[in-house]
Structure 1
């Protein structure tokens, strides 16, 4: 059976509908202003799930749920989203710098030198999309060419002035996803150098397992960045990529049992935090943790009864949250 057609409702009608469904409009003027400024869809449809009575046949809110509880959850998520975008931008800048350095060091600063087949793995044959039938390396070099002939600065300046483009300029024209693609196709020696410079690890301790773990952190960072950049709900989101269980998880108090049973640290916000922890710039992770713990604190000061529910949705154990709070306050 098809669902009834969605029809326009005024802000007043929207508030009446919410009241009919059991939501307490604790501050009518505030609620009306919030719906005008943000929209019913963004606030209610985006964040109502935690407050719906699952035992009710018709959609009804849990008894006593207020509009403010939903609205401030929306605000909490907004703050986390912006903090996530800021963190991924910093991580992206670090990785651009490191990858450009390694390209120049290993293969030269001229595009005719570093843009050679021998400098990259062939990769898999592409089975769909614009590069169908080509190997991944061909697509990567095609992306390089598109950046070289870009009409954006500073690529245009270097092309027209020097008829060349060093890696530290070319990477500015790559998306975060393309930068990840470049890392994927780098030769083993180059990957080792990138990981060592990006994390501060001793190159002699970097194994194939380390490289796989670092590739997964890249996946997680790009996946969350793209989701956040498109305005998706992030506080309880699970991306399609996954971090494998590692000793780093134990430093966050995540047991193998919790990893398997609750997916903790696999593809949730905690996995994003663990991914940030690999980077040598500890300020990126610390800044993100400060932002989210501060915002969670603010929400729970208003609505303390939702502590267990909120942390469970975020897949963050209370003990770890308390540790972050302690670190922030000291």
Structure 2
């Protein structure tokens, strides 16, 4: 017998009701379940609506419609954050390709030569192999394919259009020390001059890893509110330049806020967005979503609490850019 046998939409509705969850409009609920799988909606957010005593039941104050409301807010928050992660990914590609072209060469004859790189992290061979694979297997309609067929070389700023976030990170990681420093410094404006080089490099490396982990989780249906990345963290020393107005050391130690959680993602985006118009748009959109998430209580919690954010999370972020 299957552990999870198929259930019709009608059977799913009955299962929901049997677990004590109110449904105010069953026909609408059926339509929602045709658009969003039961697992993604009910299992995905059940931790927010647990019964205080009975493990298999929902909180008596919860409803199917409240699940859907939280799902939509989460989706909206995800879409905002993902948009700016994409901007940072493009920024990384622009900076790496610029430095590679300037310091190593604009032709693949030069930038695919292993002698022009460092192998300190033992990723040299695999990184160049993956870059070569992108060149060899480029699909019709891509910039790389066009240059491969019509030009006498493929510049790095063309190749980066067709490589993934993780691969451009690896390309950055094998650059010679001077080129890595150059890329790193381009990510941090003069307002972060109090960061020493080692702090900048660690923040860039770990920050990019955290952004990529969040993007991958969100793209596969992961929830925003419970994001946690155990492998990479933001070092608390970077918060000293705001006199702990963004994160207090006591908070960092006791709750790990700003270490590797969802608020960390917002912090990294704020730090890595140096273009003024993009940065202002980021804050405008955060203000909009802050109004949305706090417009209705989720049972007994405000929206910012559901997303594990400080109540003044936007003000804290603004302290990073003043």
* Pair in the same fold by TM > 0.5: yes
> Are the structure 2 counterparts of residues 274 and 302 from structure 1 closer, same or farther at C-alpha, using a change threshold of 3 Å?
closer
2:267 to 264, 274, 279: 274
Equivalent residue in structure 1 for 2:206, among 196, 216, 219 = 216
Post-superposition offset of 1:54 = 4.1
Task: Say which of 240, 245, 250 aligns to 2:236.
Answer: 245
* Separation (CA, whole Å) in 2 of partners of 1:6 and 1:294: 40
Q: Distance in 1 between matches of 2:193 and 2:288?
A: 39
| Mapped contact 2:294–2:304 kept (Cα < 8 A) | no
Matched residue, 1:141: 128
Gap change, CA 1:322 and 1:117, over 3 Å in 2: closer
- 3-state SS, counterpart of residue 131 of structure 2: helix
User: Normalising by structure 1, what TM-score?
Assistant: 0.84
Closer/same/farther in 2, CA of residues 23 and 141 from structure 1, 3 Å limit: same
**Where does residue 192 of structure 1 map in the other structure?**
181
Question: In structure 2, what is the equivalent of residue 256 of structure 1?
Answer: 249
**Alignment of structure 1 residues 34-73 onto 2, 5 Å:** 34-56=32-54, 58-73=55-70
Q: 1:323 to 1:155 in 2, by over 3 A?
A: closer
Does residue 78 of structure 1 match 2:75? yes
Counterpart CA distance in 2 for 1:89 and 1:185 is 22
Taking only aligned residues, the RMSD between alpha carbons, in angstroms, comes to: 2.7
> Which range is displaced more, 260-269 or 196-205?
196-205
Structure 1 residue 296: Cα displacement: 4.7
Q: Which moved more, 1:46-55 or 1:285-294?
A: 285-294
Find the counterpart in structure 1 of residue 110 from structure 2.
113
Q: How far, CA to CA, are the matches of 2:241 and 2:309 in structure 1?
A: 14
Whether the 8 Å CA contact 1:239–1:267 is kept in 2: the answer is yes
Q: Which moved more, 1:295-304 or 1:105-114?
A: 295-304
The answer to whether the 8 Å contact 2:225/2:308 transfers is no
From 155, 165, 172, the equivalent of 1:176 is 165
Picking from 291, 296, 311, the partner of 1:297 is 291
| CA 1:202–1:148: 2 relative to 1, 3 Å | farther
Distance 1:283 1:77, change over 3 A: farther
Rounded to whole Å, the distance in 1 between the matches of 2:165 and 2:11 is 43
Q: Corresponding residue for 2:24? A: 26
Does the 8 A contact of 1:103 with 1:109 survive in 2? yes
Q: Which runs of 5+ in 1 are unaligned?
A: 125-134, 326-330
Q: What does the per-residue CA deviation read over 1:233-264, in whole Å, with 9 as the maximum and x for residues that have no partner?
A: 12221123322213347745211121121110
DSSP-derived class of the 2:31 partner: helix
- Look up the SS of the partner of 1:301 in the other structure: coil
- The DSSP-based 3-state class of the residue aligned with 1:253 is coil
Change beyond 3 A, Cα 1:203–1:20: closer
Name the residue aligned to 2:144. 155
C-alpha distance after superposition, 1:102-136 (max 9, x if no partner): 11111121222222323321134xxxxxxxxxx31
Query: Please, what TM-score do these two structures have when normalized by structure 2?
Result: 0.86
- Of residues 79-88 and 42-51 in structure 1, the stretch that sits farther from structure 2 once superposed is 79-88
**Cα distance, 1:313 vs structure 2:** 4.2
Aligned-residue offset at 1:288: 4.7
Structure 1 distance, partners of 2:192, 2:22, is 59
Residue correspondences, number: 311
